[in-house]
């Protein structure tokens, strides 16, 4: 699938039909199914791992539908707090909450006769799920703070998530009735490792889109095709763009590829328990050493889904293990100001990343997290692990 960039905020625009690359049987089947679904008005749930291009498929369905000339409204539900999400979707009236200085039209109203794309729908709170369910049943838009319905609108809802909603239903985290409403049609976008034969076409597309003349040798391409791509197309795009900037118009060989990609492709992967800690350790070392800022670097990557909830939770566990379960000391350890205490706790609570501090007061808690890390942090210094180790030792001595 072609590449795309998501924004945590809402966007309202008309779209041209995007290109869905891939000649594999898997992608051909997905294209045919999406084109057939586009001709109707059924609600669609698109699932798949982070970075596979779920939003691209949503735009493809809209562009192929009878609503193509009408607005395509997209919003990342994970990037907006519950109160603001309701205001974004339904609008609000002046004075309905602090900062509501004027009336605002919601995205459902703005998207009338078009398509509304709800990215990361699995991150909605149970209350917002109930509000969304009511809208899907009657199409009525009632702004926040208003006693009256503003309008009844006609929008097609396409939702996307990288989470297993049936599992969330079983755990009481997602409404079963809402799942049936949004999953009239279910499309699963496969991870890149399941259609490796498309990596050559995707790489050529990324290079052409960047206007570069980069060439990749056969040996290097074979390495790219053996790699598992846990970050999927988004990770492939990152690697190709790095090569463009570093190698220019030269031919890329195996030695020019990122060492982590070459090592993993050749089977030289760390043991499972080490991989589980890799991302959390990398983040922790970088923050403690002062090489990056939580709010300037880590937070944007988390909101843009380059970091998972497990990555953030692992970071918190590392910090609490070092501070004996003290959240305020954790902020200082990670280089955040004391005034960010409530903001940090609200972030963790909103995204389900809060860790119980009490288990760390006993001194027996583990800072490991139970899933394999899916990505690397290319923006931080290559020397972070060494620097982070020294800083961590200093912090413990202090």
Average pLDDT per 10 consecutive residues for the chain, totaling 398 residues: 45 74 93 96 95 95 95 92 89 83 90 96 94 95 88 95 92 95 96 95 93 92 92 92 84 90 74 53 84 87 80 90 91 92 91 87 50 42 42 44
d(CA 61, CA 66) in angstroms, rounded, equals 10
3-state secondary structure of 159: strand
Distance, in Å, from the CA atom of 360 to the CA atom of 78, rounded to the nearest integer, reads 28
Kindly report the CATH class assigned to 196-265: mainly alpha
Question: Same CATH fold, 196-265 and 11-190?
Answer: no
Owner of token pair 């200093």? 394
Q: What does the pLDDT read at residue 330?
A: 93
Residue 162 pLDDT: 92
Chain centre distance of CA 154: 28
Q: How many residues does the chain have?
A: 398
According to the model, what pLDDT value does residue 249 have?
77
Domain boundaries, the chain: 11-190, 196-265, 272-397
With beta carbons less than 8 A apart as the criterion, state whether 38 and 85 touch.
Answer: no
pTM metric for this prediction: 0.67
Per CATH, domain 11-190 is 3.30.360.10 = no
Alpha-carbon distance 316 to 293, whole Å? 15
């Amino acid at each position: 699938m072609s590449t795309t960039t998501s924004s945590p905020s809402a966007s309202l625009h008309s779209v041209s039909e995007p290109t869905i690359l891939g000649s594999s049987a898997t992608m051909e089947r997905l294209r045919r199914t999406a084109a057939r679904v586009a001709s109707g008005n059924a609600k669609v749930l698109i699932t798949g791992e982070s970075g596979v291009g779920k939003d691209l498929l949503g735009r493809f369905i809209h562009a192929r539908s009878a609503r193509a000339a009408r607005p395509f409204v997209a919003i990342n539900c994970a990037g907006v707090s519950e109160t603001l999400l309701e205001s974004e979707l339904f609008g609000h009236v002046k004075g309905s909450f602090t900062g509501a200085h004027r009336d605002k039209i919601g995205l459902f109203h703005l998207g009338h006769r078009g398509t509304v794309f709800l990215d990361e729908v699995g991150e909605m709170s149970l209350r917002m799920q109930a509000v969304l369910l009511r809208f899907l049943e009657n199409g009525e838009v009632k702004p926040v703070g208003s006693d009256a319905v503003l309008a009844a609108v006609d929008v097609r809802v396409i939702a996307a998530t990288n989470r297993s909603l049936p599992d969330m239903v079983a755990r009481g985290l997602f409404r079963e009735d809402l799942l049936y409403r949004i999953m009239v049609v279910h499309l699963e976008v496969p991870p890149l490792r399941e259609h490796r034969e498309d990596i050559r076409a995707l790489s050529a597309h990324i290079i052409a889109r960047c206007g570069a003349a980069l060439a990749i040798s056969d040996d290097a391409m074979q390495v790219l095709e053996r790699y598992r791509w846990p970050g999927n197309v988004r990770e492939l795009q990152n690697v190709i763009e790095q090569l463009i900037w570093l190698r220019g118009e030269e031919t890329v060989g195996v030695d020019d590829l990122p060492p982590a990609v070459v090592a993993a492709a050749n089977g030289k992967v760390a043991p499972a328990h080490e991989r589980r800690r890799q991302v959390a350790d990398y983040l922790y070392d970088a923050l403690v050493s002062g090489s990056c800022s939580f709010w300037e670097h880590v937070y944007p990557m988390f909101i843009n889904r380059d970091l998972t909830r497990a990555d953030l939770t692992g970071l918190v566990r590392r910090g609490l293990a070092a501070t004996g379960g003290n959240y305020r000391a954790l902020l200082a350890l990670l280089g955040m100001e004391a005034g960010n205490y409530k903001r940090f706790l609200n972030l963790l609570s909103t995204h389900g990343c809060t860790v119980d501090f009490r288990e760390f007061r006993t001194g027996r808690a583990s800072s490991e997290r139970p899933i394999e890390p899916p990505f690397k942090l290319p923006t931080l210094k290559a020397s972070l692990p060494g620097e982070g180790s020294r800083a961590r030792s200093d912090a413990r001595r202090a």
